[in-house]
């Protein structure tokens, strides 16, 4: 079945630094990937839709300069949290459409900013 690999699974960084999260589709090509953020005991909130070879589409209220998304190939999308602050601490999950009816999710990244 379709597999989406997300790395790292956990990361701790200092305030003011940047962190990059990778999302790879291992056995299929993903022209579109999605990035979600999840706070404890809350639902998934879509941050942006990543399109291969073009600019990402950000949801309302998401700062595009803070959450940089790059989708340079059909199997890789990256999310970079720039100048991280403690309020950016969260669980980030990527997803790819792996078929007409199916979305496959990465294993998630727990980001802690200290």
Distance between CA atoms of residues 21 and 77, nearest Å? 9
Q: Which residues bind other proteins (CB under 8 A)?
A: 6, 34, 41-46, 49, 93, 95, 97, 100-108, 110
- Name which of 6 and 75 has its Cβ closer to other proteins: 6
User: Count of H helices and E strands in the chain?
Assistant: 0, 11
- Name which of 83 and 107 has its Cβ closer to other proteins: 107
- In eight-state DSSP terms, residue 19 is E
Q: Is 52 exposed, middle or buried (0-12, 13-18, 19+ CB in 10 A)?
A: middle
Task: Give me the least distance between CB of 59 and other proteins, in Å please.
Answer: 9
Task: Give me the least distance between CB of 49 and other proteins, in Å please.
Answer: 6
Bridge partners for 46 per DSSP: 36
Task: Give me the least distance between CB of 83 and other proteins, in Å please.
Answer: 26
- Name which of 16 and 99 has its Cβ closer to other proteins: 99
């Amino acid at each position: 079945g379709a597999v989406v690999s997300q790395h790292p699974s956990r990361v701790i960084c200092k305030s003011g630094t940047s962190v990059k999260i990778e999302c790879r589709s291992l056995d299929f090509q993903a022209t579109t990937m999605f990035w979600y953020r999840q706070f404890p005991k809350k639902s998934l909130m879509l941050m942006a839709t990543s399109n291969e070879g073009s600019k990402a589409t950000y949801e309302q209220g998401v700062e595009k300069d803070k959450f940089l998304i790059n989708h340079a190939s059909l199997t890789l999308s990256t999310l970079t949290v720039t100048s991280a602050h403690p309020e950016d601490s969260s669980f980030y999950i990527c997803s790819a459409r792996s078929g007409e009816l199916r979305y496959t999710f990465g294993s998630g990244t727990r980001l802690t900013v200290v």
